[in-house]
Amino acid sequence: MLKDFELYGNVDLAQNFIDSVKSGRFLFSFVISYTETSEIPGITFAGADKDSIQYTPPADAEYLHYGYCKTIDKIPMTPDGKPTPGLLTKTALESASISHLTINAGSKIVPQLPFIESGLPFGKNILVQDAMNDTIVSHAVEYGQILGRILASLTDCLLIGECIPGGTTTALALLKALDYDAKVSSSIPENPIELKNQIVTSALERIDSEHPYSIVAKIGDPMIPFVAGMLSSASSVSKVMLAGGTQMAAVLAFASKIGFNEENTAIGTTSYITNDETANFKELIHEISDIPILSVDPGMKNSKFSGLRAFSEGFAKEGVGAGGSIISSMLKTGNNSETLLNLAEKEYQRLFT
Amino acid sequence: MLKDFELYGNVDLAQNFIDSVKSGRFLFSFVISYTETSEIPGITFAGADKDSIQYTPPADAEYLHYGYCKTIDKIPMTPDGKPTPGLLTKTALESASISHLTINAGSKIVPQLPFIESGLPFGKNILVQDAMNDTIVSHAVEYGQILGRILASLTDCLLIGECIPGGTTTALALLKALDYDAKVSSSIPENPIELKNQIVTSALERIDSEHPYSIVAKIGDPMIPFVAGMLSSASSVSKVMLAGGTQMAAVLAFASKIGFNEENTAIGTTSYITNDETANFKELIHEISDIPILSVDPGMKNSKFSGLRAFSEGFAKEGVGAGGSIISSMLKTGNNSETLLNLAEKEYQRLFT
């Protein structure tokens, strides 16, 4: 199984993290959110068309839970039918009997299942206005801290994944605002870098304070301070694995301003993120914090289904905490990527035949 | 410690329950709800006046979490200043480091903290109209089952407590409708039995089907089917302690219609309920189901504060899962009622001086 993993960053800490969680309990918390930045044409593929983007976060939560969606009539997919990375998350969590909870941190639409409510509004389009105000950011951090403390007390390793369409753009904006030389990944193979940079450059002009709360309010999204709050409290109680790529780099950058326990923290992601040559994920994380990156090759390049091979060809790359869920699942069960591929293909067949 | 306990019902099962949970993990789930039946004058003391009753459930949740309330400016109390039984719950849970989660199952007002949302509306006044419709009942049961399964997977013993002002009246109505000879307790020393019976008699006339979903829809409240749903799924995964009195008898009566695992279930309550001569709690539970009752004497009669002695004099008696929380706390820590009294007096002093 470990042959499917690559460790980056603080490798000693990575090995320690793996050793201490593999015999423990895992809980996957799935944070759904929204930024109107996703409505800028061309910015995301997280949804079959512009109007459906807002349904992707609740639909991903419903799919994870029920195996089908209630808010929409198909599972979230790209315009040409490539499925949500939630397919990998669901396969991974189920095969390891890892429980999950959905958390609403500013989704425009609520999911049709019991979920944890944070009371946060969705984020505004950072191209044209501030995403939030400082009060909302304080609320996000505080409620994230409350929830992180509770959930961490119930498990040995709290996995945190997210779904916020358009979130790589707000993540890029926050990382740049905090002076990191970030090149971020995208859910689209042809990363619309020029468009993202235009949006970010324009948004950064509104920043008039160095306070991290003020910065994230102007150019971030509600997910970032909420998950950073969760990390800050949870990492003092249990191990925490941030399950994601670009967005989790932004969370980490913000969390490093409010404080968290590095010894208990790791990022778990897919090799599609760590091998993305258009981005600089590994260098970026190293610049932000001395925590390990656990990266897994989900092995989808060997699939007989083009819809699954697409993950290895630059579509989605990560999302719905897929990478961290696969890693946790493999650590708990000892399964390798061949087993995962087999299960993912069964799930793909169930959905599409 | 065990000298503070009385065991009733299936005593073998009680001892087995105690043995299997005492070295395990506990999680307290606090279900808040609302029935407009509480607005009938004279029916409840759960709030300082008529208008404040609706704030009692979220305020109890906030007090448990923060140690103060956000929705109102004082903790919930009777018109003459006797505090919420949440004081006992909070003291018990904190002294044993037992985590808790708030669940909104139809509260009129949402609490100002992260909580689990069920999407249920509040119940209508059963004196004048149906509490719910069948669709809402199905939703309550289904969402309760989903949540019960998740929460039970995170703990060895799931405690379920509730706060629904006016809930003893809807509980009485359901118990009578299901043909149990119920005499229920009250949060008021002079139990307004005649008023309750009038309301119940009038409500029962609307029943036109023997289907339990239809019955609870007409004369129950949203908490009952929701918690019964939680019990039905959770008891197949872990031990479940229904923490409460009269309302939990109604939950158990409804749950016995949809099915649950008796071997994993117990009711935990206070001696103020099991010793209430105006009610018939022990006989009632025995009639409904072959599960054990664990009853604890919180020892408040020995307090130097009249506000705490009131609990032993017929005020509140139970609520916010106080009895079950005390039992769980004592099982986990080995503390006895003297220690609890000491801690409760400190908390009382913190609040009122």
ipTM for this model: 0.94
In chain B, residues with a C-beta closer than 8 Å to the C-beta of A146 are 65, 113-114
Q: Do B117 and A113 make contact, defined as CB atoms within 8 angstroms? A: no
d(CA A7, CA A264): 16
- What pLDDT is recorded for position A185? 77
- What pLDDT is recorded for position B111? 98
> Do residues A91 and A350 lie in contact, with contact meaning Cβ atoms separated by under 8 Å?
no
Q: Shortest CB distance from B146 goes to which of A113, A116, A155? A: A113
Is B65 touching A (CB cutoff 8 A)? yes
Residue B180 has pLDDT above 60, yes or no: yes
User: Which backbone phi and psi does B103 adopt, to 5 degrees?
Assistant: -125, 125
Ranking A177-191, B44-58, B116-130, B334-348 by mean pLDDT, the lowest is B44-58
Residue B340 pairs with which residues in a beta bridge?
none
Residue B3 has pLDDT above 90, yes or no: no
Question: What confidence tier does B58 reach under pLDDT thresholds 50, 70, 90?
Answer: very high
Q: Shortest CB distance from A143 goes to which of B101, B114, B147? A: B114
Nearest CA among A231, A206, A133, A215 for reference residue A178:
A215
For residue B160, the Cα-to-chain-centroid distance in whole angstroms is 7
Q: Shortest CB distance from A154 goes to which of B104, B115, B154? A: B154
Nearest CA among B150, B113, B117 for reference residue B27:
B150
- What pLDDT is recorded for position B48? 55
Q: Do A114 and B117 make contact, defined as CB atoms within 8 angstroms? A: yes
Give the count of alpha carbons within 13 A of B110, CB side only: 15
Is A332 touching B (CB cutoff 8 A)? no
d(CA B103, CA B144): 10
> Do residues A74 and A124 lie in contact, with contact meaning Cβ atoms separated by under 8 Å?
no
**Separation in Å, CA of B98 to nearest CA in chain A:** 9
User: Which backbone phi and psi does A31 adopt, to 5 degrees?
Assistant: -95, 115
- What pLDDT is recorded for position B1? 64
- What pLDDT is recorded for position A324? 98
**CATH no. of A2-352:** 3.40.50.10210
Q: Do A114 and B27 make contact, defined as CB atoms within 8 angstroms? A: no
User: Does an H or E element contain A180, and which?
Assistant: none
- Render pLDDT for B12-48 as a digit per residue (tens, 0 to 9): 999 999 999 999 999 999 999 999 999 999 887 666 5
In chain B, residues with a C-beta closer than 8 Å to the C-beta of A107 are none
Closest Cα in chain B to A112: B119
- What pLDDT is recorded for position A40? 93
Is B238 touching A (CB cutoff 8 A)? no
Residue ranges, chain A, pLDDT below 70: 1, 45-49
- Render pLDDT for B217-268 as a digit per residue (tens, 0 to 9): 999 999 999 999 999 999 999 999 999 999 999 999 999 999 999 999 999 9
Residue with tokens 């006339």: B205
Q: Do B114 and A147 make contact, defined as CB atoms within 8 angstroms? A: yes
**Separation in Å, CA of A147 to nearest CA in chain B:** 7
Residue B187 has pLDDT above 80, yes or no: no
Mean pLDDT of chain B: 94
User: Does an H or E element contain A161, and which?
Assistant: strand A157-163
- What pLDDT is recorded for position B317? 87
Q: Do A117 and B118 make contact, defined as CB atoms within 8 angstroms? A: no
Is B116 touching A (CB cutoff 8 A)? yes
Q: Do B114 and A116 make contact, defined as CB atoms within 8 angstroms? A: yes
- What pLDDT is recorded for position A47? 60
Closest Cα in chain B to A120: B114
Q: Do B104 and A112 make contact, defined as CB atoms within 8 angstroms? A: no
Is A67 touching B (CB cutoff 8 A)? no
In chain A, residues with a C-beta closer than 8 Å to the C-beta of B117 are 104, 110, 114-117
- What pLDDT is recorded for position A46? 64
d(CA B242, CA A18): 37
- What pLDDT is recorded for position B314? 84
**Assigned token pair, A214:** 């003020």
d(CA B327, CA B321): 10
